[in-house]
């Protein structure tokens, strides 16, 4: 059995982790219902137009991410208060440390900075969010080592989805920040810049597939690139067709990478 003070400490941490998600969801709801600073998140994005922005429907992935994170929160509360898996609880808390709360703080503050159009600050907060998720991914060695079904469903799946989307969102934030500063691309057109960002996103996905065995992350990238494709098709501007082609190629390359990794799994 865990020592009494350790058990109490872990229960307290699980409660604080729960509060962190509640705060994130509350601020996201305020951003929609008020909205914060009188503008929706999408309206702010529309003020800094760029070709890397996906169609609105793509952002529905947030509902999937938050539902999976809710499952994660329920799981860690169950670990802390049921007392049935003390070693699993200890292992979880040792690896998670305070990184979940840091990610919640970064997520919430990013939304506030974005709505008040403090884009340089929002970029820093996005990088902090990305960094915290990368640390969680590394600490839990997600998808690289065998894990119980509980850990796969309630830790690996939520944080793979979350990291996948935030990786793409970071590239989008970089692009929006450049528009904010009025940067002309130093000779790089908006079309070529969008293609470059798609290429970077594809490379990151391939690394996560082949080096980290994280297929969920890659599927999120495919969804994001489909959103970019959809947005550009709706715009129907001939000069932007390279972005559409790049999106199609990116989805195809990632799909091949996933197929290859699944084949490697089967043969090993």
pLDDT of 67: 98
**Cα–Cα distance measured from residue 137 to residue 99, given in angstroms and rounded to the nearest whole number:** 10
pLDDT of 186: 64
Domains of the chain: total:
1
Domain with 187 in it: 4-267
In Å, what is the CA distance from 138 to each residue of 87, 176, 214?
Answer: 20, 28, 12
pLDDT in tens, the chain (268 residues): 445 778 899 999 999 999 999 999 999 999 999 999 999 999 999 999 899 999 999 999 999 999 999 999 999 999 999 988 888 999 999 999 999 999 999 999 999 999 999 999 999 999 999 999 999 999 999 998 888 899 999 999 999 999 999 999 999 999 999 999 887 666 788 999 999 999 999 999 999 999 999 999 999 999 999 999 999 999 888 889 999 999 999 999 999 999 999 999 888 7
Q: Is the pTM value of this prediction over 0.75?
A: yes
pLDDT of 185: 64
pLDDT of 2: 44
């Amino acid at each position: 059995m865990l020592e009494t003070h350790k058990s109490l400490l872990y229960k307290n941490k699980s409660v604080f982790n729960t509060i962190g998600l509640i705060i994130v969801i509350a601020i996201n709801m305020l951003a929609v219902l008020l909205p914060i600073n009188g503008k929706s998140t999408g309206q702010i994005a529309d003020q800094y137009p760029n070709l890397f922005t996906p169609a609105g429907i793509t952002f529905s992935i947030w509902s999937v991410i938050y539902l999976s994170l809710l499952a994660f929160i329920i799981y860690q509360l169950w670990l802390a208060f049921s007392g049935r898996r003390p070693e699993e609880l200890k292992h979880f808390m040792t690896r998670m440390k305070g990184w979940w709360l840091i990610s919640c703080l970064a997520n919430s503050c990013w939304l506030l900075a974005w709505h008040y159009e403090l884009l340089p600050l929002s970029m820093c907060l996005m990088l902090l969010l990305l960094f915290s998720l990368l640390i969680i991914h590394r600490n839990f060695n997600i998808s690289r080592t065998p894990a119980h079904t509980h850990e796969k469903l309630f830790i690996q799946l939520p944080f793979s989805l979350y990291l996948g989307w935030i990786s793409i969102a970071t590239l989008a934030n970089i692009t929006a920040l450049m528009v904010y500063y009025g940067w002309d691309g130093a000779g790089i057109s908006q079309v070529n810049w969008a293609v470059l960002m798609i290429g970077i996103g594809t490379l990151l996905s391939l690394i996560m597939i082949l080096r980290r065995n994280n297929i969920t992350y890659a599927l999120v990238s495919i969804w994001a690139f489909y959103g970019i494709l959809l947005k550009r098709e709706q715009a129907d501007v001939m000069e932007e067709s390279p972005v559409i082609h790049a999106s199609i190629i990116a989805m195809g390359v990632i799909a091949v990478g996933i197929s290859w990794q699944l084949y490697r799994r089967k043969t090993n």
